Amino acid sequence: MSAFDKYLHAVIVRAMDEAQDDGSATIDAHHLLLSLAADEGSTAQQVLASAGLDRDTVREALDREFEHSLSVVGVSAATYDLPGPSRAAQQPKLGASARLALDRSFATARKKDLRSTHVLLGILQADIGTVPRALALAGIDQAELTDRVRQLLNGQDQDRDQA
Amino acid sequence: MSDGNNSPPPEPSERSEPSEPADALAAVVALRRLADQLEDSAVEQAMRSGWTWPQVSEALGVTRQAVHKKHAKRLIAAGVKLRRRGDERV
């Protein structure tokens, strides 16, 4: 198992935990983003932090997106006061949006060159869906953030080529 | 010949109406998530208060197998005492 394989495994395990907390049967792209933001010390986490995004601010942005999307059709989750259900016993499976994000990540580099920033780039490359909507509501310039990740990756490539 | 002043201008769209496909599609995603959460919570509440699988499945309009498959493991793991077939309600 390479260092990246171990890193990716840890990312997915944390994302699975986030999905279970959400009561979601699938691990979605936004669960991967929460997982990256929570991974102290990784380059992806540092890039997110530099844009003001830690795990809790990502969570807040996602909650806002949820409320906002419901409000479009006149629904409020706040009026629903049943107690929270018990956690799912079954492990959530990788959903379509997370698969797409990972496929995009893997397409950006050779396998042995993959880093945490490639995973972040794969998530940020989505133009449509929960993640872009949540970032927009949080006032994040997604295009600018994506460019920053790309520049960082180019820098890493140059470092490697010189090494 | 109409001079174009006879027809009223289009009404501004209602605020609550999804104006763009992106908003409408995101609303679908959010409603599914809300419905899933509500189902998990409501089924658990019903089973904790002694409802049977056939009753819950009838209330939800799905088969007993479907509701059992979706919720049994979670409720057993949560320690909910489930009524077996043949248990009579008192």
pLDDT tens digits for range B49-68: 999 999 999 999 999 999 99
Predicted local distance difference test score (pLDDT) of residue B79? 87
Within a domain: A85: no
Q: In sequence order, which residues have a C-beta less than 8 Å from that of residue A39 and are 6 or more positions away? A: A10, A11, A14, A45, A116
Predicted local distance difference test score (pLDDT) of residue A79? 67
Taking the C-alpha atoms of residue A61 and residue B89, their distance in angstroms, rounded to an integer, is 46
Within a domain: A133: yes
What is the percent of chain A with per-residue pLDDT over 70, rounded to a whole number? 93
Contact A80 B26 (CB under 8 A): no
A27 DSSP β-pair partners: A94
Taking the C-alpha atoms of residue A163 and residue A71, their distance in angstroms, rounded to an integer, is 53
Taking the C-alpha atoms of residue A15 and residue A5, their distance in angstroms, rounded to an integer, is 15
| Confidence band for B78, pLDDT divided at 50, 70 and 90 | confident
Domain extent for A148: 3-75+91-162
Q: pTM of the prediction? A: 0.85
Domain extent for B48: 22-77
Predicted local distance difference test score (pLDDT) of residue A131? 98
| B17, pLDDT greater than 60 | no
Number of structural domains chain A divides into: 1
Which candidate, A99, A115, A133, A114, places its Cα nearest to that of A15? Answer: A99
Classify residue B13 by burial, with Cβ atoms within 10 Å: 0-12, 13-18, 19+.
exposed
Angle, nearest 10°, between helix axes A96-107 and A29-38? 60
Classify residue A70 by burial, with Cβ atoms within 10 Å: 0-12, 13-18, 19+.
buried
Contact A82 B18 (CB under 8 A): no
Taking the C-alpha atoms of residue B21 and residue A140, their distance in angstroms, rounded to an integer, is 22
What is the CATH number for A38? 1.10.1780.10
Chain B residues in contact with A87 (beta carbon < 8 A): 74, 77-78
What is the percent of chain B with per-residue pLDDT over 90, rounded to a whole number? 59
Chain A residues 13-32 with CB within 8 Å of chain B:
22-25
| Confidence band for A88, pLDDT divided at 50, 70 and 90 | confident
H or E element at residue B19: none
What value, to the nearest 5°, has the Cα angle with vertex A59 and ends A23 and A46?
130
Predicted local distance difference test score (pLDDT) of residue B83? 74
pLDDT tens digits for range A120-135: 999 999 999 999 999 9
Separation of first and last alpha carbons in chain B: 78
| A104, pLDDT greater than 50 | yes
| A42, pLDDT greater than 80 | yes
Within a domain: A84: no
> What's the whole-number mean pLDDT along residues A109-117?
90
Predicted local distance difference test score (pLDDT) of residue B20? 86
Partner residue facing A128 (CB), from B22, B45, B76: B22
Contact B36 A90 (CB under 8 A): no
3-state secondary structure of A27: strand
Interface membership of A7 toward B (CB under 8 Å):
no
Minimum distance, in Å, between the CA of residue A141 and any CA atom of chain B: 18
Within a domain: B15: no
Predicted local distance difference test score (pLDDT) of residue B33? 93
Number of structural domains chain B divides into: 1
Within a domain: A42: yes
Within a domain: A67: yes
| Confidence band for B48, pLDDT divided at 50, 70 and 90 | very high
| Confidence band for A71, pLDDT divided at 50, 70 and 90 | very high
Q: What is the largest CA-CA distance in chain A?
A: 59
Predicted local distance difference test score (pLDDT) of residue B81? 84
pLDDT tens digits for range A43-69: 999 999 999 999 999 999 999 999 999
Contact B38 A70 (CB under 8 A): no
